[in-house]
Structure 1
């Protein structure tokens, strides 16, 4: 099946401008273009876009995503290098998750604080030096 840029963008949950940017950055080198320059997306392009979205969501810079796809085109001799890229990315994401877990702990603590204060009708029940807006 073939998709227009707006159909592909909707299917991927991104703006059409993001797809144009990915194309401009060389992340979609095999994407078909009609003689007038209209982009046509295939199922394979959508699979690549899924990978791009995953990598971007992990915080990977566009230059590294481009490098990954360049390595893919080079074939099997780059398997170890591609694995290393994902091992590094996994470690970065693991640290991000730890940081977000800490943030979540603080948010949950503040939610308990306010539930207790609302139930008591006052923040005065928390006379432990913890400021309401801290």
Structure 2
């Protein structure tokens, strides 16, 4: 089958297939009379494997290693790579869970006090930054608010963000 058919069958773009080929992850045969790529069932299986590993967040270099292990029938090494990738995803999940919990606390604080301590905003921003750094090219949208200072019951000055809540009717 040609690249267009392979792309349609796998639900990926032709450009992605060319990228994986350029990265050395697959090398479909070429038709002699026209030079078109010819994808066999083994190529399709390999592409499915590449797509699955990419969906799991595995970098191209690690996919290359994983494919080499598959080609060498080294299931132990492949298992090790997959377990490593799982632990990376788990760490990202834990971080995301903590950010959600922080956002929930911020929402509750804002509902109760109509003000939000700057430390909570900083914690959420730091978590977002760390996640963004782990996935280059991804950005997290920012919001605008202005810092304010308040004096708490203890006499300490506290920085917070004053947010005006509006009701939609």
Q: Give me the TM-score of the superposition, normalised by structure 1.
A: 0.69
Distance 2:51 2:87 in 1: 18
Question: Whose Rg is larger?
Answer: 2
Map of 1:37 onto structure 2:
35
Are 1:25 and 2:23 an aligned pair? yes
Residue 113 of structure 2 aligns to a residue whose secondary structure is coil
Residue 26 of structure 2 aligns to a residue whose secondary structure is coil
Match of 2:85 among 89, 108, 117: 89
Could you say which structure has the greater relative contact order, defined with CA pairs below 8 angstroms and 6 or more residues apart? 1
What displacement does 1:42 show?
2.6
Q: Give me the TM-score of the superposition, normalised by structure 2.
A: 0.57
- For structure 2, the residue ranges without an aligned partner over 5 or more in a row are 117-160, 165-169
What displacement does 1:20 show?
0.8
Distance 2:78 2:17 in 1: 23
Query: How many residues end up aligned between the 2 structures?
Result: 117
Are 1:79 and 2:65 an aligned pair? no
Alignment of 1:1-134 (within 5 A): 2=1, 4-29=2-27, 31-35=28-32, 36-75=34-73, 78-105=74-101, 126-130=112-116, 131=161, 132=163
Q: Deviations over 1:3-58 (max 9, x none)?
A: x21222233232211101111222113x2321132112233322222211121122
What displacement does 1:105 show?
4.1
Distance 1:43 1:87 in 2: 27
Higher share in helix: 1
CA-based RMSD: 2.6
